[in-house]
């Protein structure tokens, strides 16, 4: 685990830890963060430091537990006196958010995990994972290292396979968790995965604007519903 905790802070209010998808690079999330920052202190965690000058450097195969432990350390650094914080993760960041809740439920006020690709929870999970990997890798793999490296290249080379193999344990605090799926993802494997996870973990399922990239496609509406979901979930958990 890296000693440096790469993160950015915007806004004022209760702490909201944001865990981006892909390789953890927050590219394109500016409008979402701007909207959320009117209500929260938004702490955007960049686990590999790709947005902080480390894109192109060698990256080892990633482990979910390293991302979630890094997220916990960020919360320890920014949340006053260990106060529970809101957490939002999408895609691979959603997997890290689930692991954070499992390992450190006391650090979370409420967690929203948006379309985490934990496809092994499906009845035909092994086959669906193989299909997802083939689909993602079949479109071509950009470089993961060097001057032409891209976040997608890092994701495909170092994150896609270990993260999609992750199977969440039963949530220790299901009332602090909401699974989210995009309205435009209906009928797709990640919507089914979110439904299956919600049933498996005994938590709520919420439908959000857009598809898997709803955070980019409809950031204002997404941020507004996320705010409502986090706050209502925290009230229910109290």
Mean pLDDT of 118-129: 96
18: CATH: 3.40.50.1820
- Reference 90, options 137, 13, 155, 140; nearest CA is 155
CB atoms within 10 A of CB 37: 17
Structural domain includes residue 97: yes
What's the number of domains the chain is made of?
1
30 DSSP assignment: H
Dist. CA 112–CA 180, nearest whole Å: 7
Please give the span between the terminal C-alpha atoms of the chain, in angstroms, as a whole number.
33
93 or 235, greater pLDDT: 93
Domain housing 78? 7-233
Kindly state whether residue 50 falls inside one of the protein's structural domains.
Answer: yes
159-184 per-position pLDDT tens digit: 999 999 999 987 677 899 999 999 99
Domain-embedded: residue 238: no
Cβ contact 190:163 at 8 Å: no
How confident is the model over 34-73, as pLDDT tens digits?
A: 999 999 999 999 999 999 999 999 999 999 999 999 999 9
pTM exceeding the 0.75 threshold for the entire prediction: yes
Tell me whether residue 184 is in a domain: yes
Examine the pLDDT at 238 and tell me if it is beyond 60.
no
| 78-103 pLDDT per residue, tens | 987 778 999 999 999 999 999 999 99
H-only helix segments in the chain? 30-36, 64-78, 92-103, 125-138, 151-154, 160-164, 189-201, 214-217, 219-237
Percentage of the chain exceeding pLDDT 90 = 89
pLDDT tens profile 188-223: 999 999 999 999 999 999 999 999 999 999 999 999
> Is the residue at 1 inside a domain?
no
Evaluated on CA atoms 183, 200, 69, 234, the torsion sign reads: positive
């Amino acid at each position: 685990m890296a000693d440096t905790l790469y993160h950015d802070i915007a806004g004022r209010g209760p702490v909201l830890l944001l865990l981006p998808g892909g390789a953890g690079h927050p590219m394109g999330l500016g409008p979402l963060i701007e909207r959320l920052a009117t209500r929260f202190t938004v702490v955007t965690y960049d686990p590999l430091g790709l947005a902080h000058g480390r894109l192109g450097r060698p990256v080892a195969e990633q482990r979910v537990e390293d991302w979630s432990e890094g997220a916990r350390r960020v919360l320890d650094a920014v949340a006053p006196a260990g106060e529970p914080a809101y957490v939002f993760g999408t895609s691979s960041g959603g997997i890290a958010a689930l692991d954070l809740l499992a390992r450190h439920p006391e650090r979370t006020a409420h967690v929203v995990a948006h379309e985490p690709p934990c496809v092994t929870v499906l009845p035909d999970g092994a086959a669906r994972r193989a299909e997802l990997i083939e689909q993602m890798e079949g479109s071509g793999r950009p470089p993961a290292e060097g001057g032409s490296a891209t976040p997608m290249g890092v994701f495909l080379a170092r994150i896609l396979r270990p993260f999609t193999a992750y199977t969440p344990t039963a949530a220790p605090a299901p009332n602090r968790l909401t699974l989210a799926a995009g309205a435009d993802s209906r009928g797709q494997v990640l919507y089914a995965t979110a439904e299956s996870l919600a049933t498996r973990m005994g938590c709520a399922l919420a439908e959000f604007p857009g598809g898997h990239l709803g955070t980019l496609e409809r950031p204002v509406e997404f941020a507004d519903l996320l705010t409502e979901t986090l706050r209502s979930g925290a009230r229910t958990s109290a």
